[in-house]
Amino acid sequence: MNVQEMEARIVRYGDLKPCKTAFIDAHTPGSDQKENFTIIGAGVSESPDQHIHIRETPGFNIGAAGQPPKCRNSLHSHRTAEVFFVLKGRWRFFWGRWGKAGEVVLEEGDIINIPTGIFRGFENIGTDYGMIMAILGGDDAGGGVIWAPQVIEDAKDHGLVLGRNGKLYDTKKGQHLPTDVPPMPLLTDDELKAYPEPTTADVVPGHVARYWDLMALSDYQPAKVIGADGKLRDRPGFEVEFLSRNSISADEYSTPRHEILMPMRGHWRLSWAGGSTVLNPGDTAAIPPGLPHSLAPSMTGDASLYRVRNTDDPAGATGRLL
């Protein structure tokens, strides 16, 4: 694999293409400034305007959300894992039918594996534009988003209608539901009873890992973050590791798995038989199975990186080991 071929498998932070109309709350005040990025796989965007950087999926999807201060993502749920780590800024994650069951604040480098089957949202509570990177379980990312009923109702007041086909229609642009497409039905009261209301104490211990704890755990070897024997024990169809300067060997290695490299801090030298390149914070590199390669921090100072690999476990509900 030459350098050009490898670069086609790397999505640089500076080349990310946002979509500002990805979801049904795109016109709702308080949520209308967010940007959605689909990096690997089609993700869960409801808009045909969403740019997809790499379509090939490794058993999961990689995406990102960028938001200015005080901008929030509305309450929704997923059928498969939704994992976030904070690349930039300070973020509040909240959950429950009305977003009041529990919450946690994450700083840069922190990671959360949000339980499936609960409504969740998040907002940038920092002072600058923030970015969170996302891992979504399954090649089809669980088949889409399940919105809390009030989100769909609020969106209609601002011109956006979601069809049963999972596509958005903007009435402000003269778009209307096709005659053969009914609107997305609201969850009934009986259906809503299936969505639990876990407290902060229920969620945080088994679903949140702090950056500096992972730095300590990765002092001599990669820290297992999400996996059967990870700090956050789960089997969502992928494993997540955390690497720091002291935990990575410069020796060449290969794996039969798909491997996604997502630098958090510092600059990382990726080398293989056909060349080498530097990965920077916010970049996403998709290493194909079986390719011998090496990875090492290229400069002094703080260096950290999340590494994601697919597993043989089917994508599904989180918490199967909790």
Residue 319 lies in a domain: no
Co-location of 38 and 182 in the same domain: yes
What span, in angstroms and rounded, lies between the C-alpha atoms of 169 and 279? 38
What span, in angstroms and rounded, lies between the C-alpha atoms of 114 and 160? 27
Co-location of 91 and 154 in the same domain: yes
Paired tokens of 6: 């490898």
Could you tell me whether strands 223-227 and 232-233 are parallel, antiparallel, or unpaired per DSSP bridges? parallel
pTM over 0.85: yes
Q: Which of 187, 208, 229 marks a domain boundary?
A: 208
Paired tokens of 235: 């089997």
Answer for the pair 98, 120: CB distance below 8 angstroms, yes or no: no
Residues 6+ apart with CB under 8 A from 239: 224, 226, 227, 230, 308, 309, 311
Count of the separate structural domains present in the chain: 2
Paired tokens of 233: 């024990």
Residue 222 lies in a domain: yes
Co-location of 264 and 150 in the same domain: no
Residue 7 lies in a domain: yes
- Residue 144 has a pLDDT of 83
Residue 183 lies in a domain: yes
Output helix, strand, coil percentages for the chain, rounded to the nearest 5.
15, 35, 50
What span, in angstroms and rounded, lies between the C-alpha atoms of 148 and 120? 9
User: Dihedral of CA 75/82/277/58: which sign?
Assistant: negative
CA nearest neighbour of 137 among 41, 261, 247: 41
- Residue 319 has a pLDDT of 65
Co-location of 81 and 180 in the same domain: yes
Backbone angles phi, psi at 14, to 5 degrees: -70, -15
Co-location of 9 and 155 in the same domain: yes
Strands (E), 254-317: 259-265, 268-272, 275-279, 284-287, 293-297, 304-310
Answer for the pair 201, 226: CB distance below 8 angstroms, yes or no: no
Per-residue pLDDT tens listing for the chain (322 residues): 899 999 999 999 999 999 999 999 999 999 999 999 999 998 889 988 899 999 999 999 999 999 999 999 999 999 999 999 999 999 999 999 999 999 999 999 999 999 999 999 999 999 999 999 999 999 998 778 999 999 999 999 999 999 999 999 999 899 999 999 999 999 999 999 999 999 999 999 999 999 999 999 999 999 999 999 999 999 999 999 999 998 988 889 999 999 999 999 999 999 999 999 999 999 999 999 999 999 999 878 889 999 999 999 999 887 654 4
* Spacing of C-alpha 260 from chain mean position: 13
Residue 318 lies in a domain: no
Q: What residue numbers bound the domain in which 17 lies?
A: 3-208
DSSP string, 12-40: -GGG---BSSSSTTTTSTTTTT-EEEEEE
Question: 72: domain CATH number?
Answer: 2.60.120.10
- Residue 321 has a pLDDT of 43
| Rounded (10°) CA dihedral 283, 250, 111, 89 | -50
Co-location of 189 and 270 in the same domain: no
Residues 6+ apart with CB under 8 A from 142: 44, 78, 79, 80, 116, 136, 315
What span, in angstroms and rounded, lies between the C-alpha atoms of 77 and 64? 17
Q: Which of 142, 174, 208 marks a domain boundary?
A: 208
Paired tokens of 162: 């979601």
* Spacing of C-alpha 209 from chain mean position: 15
Answer for the pair 110, 86: CB distance below 8 angstroms, yes or no: yes
Co-location of 185 and 289 in the same domain: no
Residue 321 lies in a domain: no
Co-location of 225 and 244 in the same domain: yes
What span, in angstroms and rounded, lies between the C-alpha atoms of 171 and 158? 9
